[in-house]
Amino acid sequence: MPKTSKVKKKVKKIKVKSTSKAKPKVVSKPKEVNKGPIKISKTYIPKDTEKYMCEKHKVFFRMKLQEWKKELVKANNEALYNGSMDDNSISADIVDQASSYTDKNVEMKAINRQIKLISEIDKALMRIKDDTYGYCLDTAEPIGLKRLMARPVAKYTIAAQEKHEKDEKVHADD
């Protein structure tokens, strides 16, 4: 009988050890939770003195991109709604019909450009999510805060962008 009591004690010791090993894992999780969402003021502007693409920068550009996307979607919806309401193609005058057609064509091209821009914004938001935002897709060098402030969907450094445009022009000439 004494042997079984010793065995029980050993089992208890093992259980205690296994729970003590699990504690550090639990301790690391709250640290991750504490990082949580970083809040910035609406007047915050990224500074060169801060670490490049720190959490504040990411939050700032995420908010900027999301707001831009919301404005574009709203403008597109209004343009589509208003465009469907203005139907001058019924007019008997052929000049009025041609003018209406031209106006709608220009408007649809603008909407298509905005749809492509919304797609670029979505891609930029994904790059923020996977921590590649702000870095050139070709060279992996920082794009720079000034460039990102001017064009938040930028995916290349200025030098890489010029190279891409030059290559596109060469291929377009072929």
Q: What is the CATH number of the domain that holds 128?
A: 1.20.120.910
Q: How far apart are CA 155 and CA 138, in angstroms?
A: 9
Relative orientation angle of helices 94-129 and 55-85, to the nearest 10 degrees: 160
- Three-state secondary structure along 102-140? HHHHHHHHHHHHHHHHHHHHHHHHHHHHCCCCCECCCCC
**What residue numbers bound the domain in which 63 lies?**
52-173
In a domain, 122, yes or no: yes
In a domain, 25, yes or no: no
List Cα–Cα distances, 128 to 114, 120, 140, 151, 158, in angstroms.
21, 12, 14, 15, 20
Q: How far apart are CA 56 and CA 37, in angstroms?
A: 10
Task: Give how many domains the chain has, as a whole number.
Answer: 1
In a domain, 100, yes or no: yes
In a domain, 7, yes or no: no
pLDDT of residue 80: 82
pLDDT of residue 17: 44
pLDDT tens digits in sequence order for the chain, 174 residues long: 455 544 444 444 444 444 444 444 333 333 444 456 788 888 899 999 999 999 999 999 999 999 999 999 999 998 888 776 666 556 678 888 888 889 889 989 999 999 999 999 999 999 999 999 999 999 999 999 999 999 999 999 999 999 999 988 887 665
Q: How far apart are CA 134 and CA 52, in angstroms?
A: 8
Give the global pTM: 0.69
Q: Which two tokens stand for residue 142?
A: 């920082």
pLDDT of residue 174: 59
Q: How far is CA 113 from the centre of its chain?
A: 18
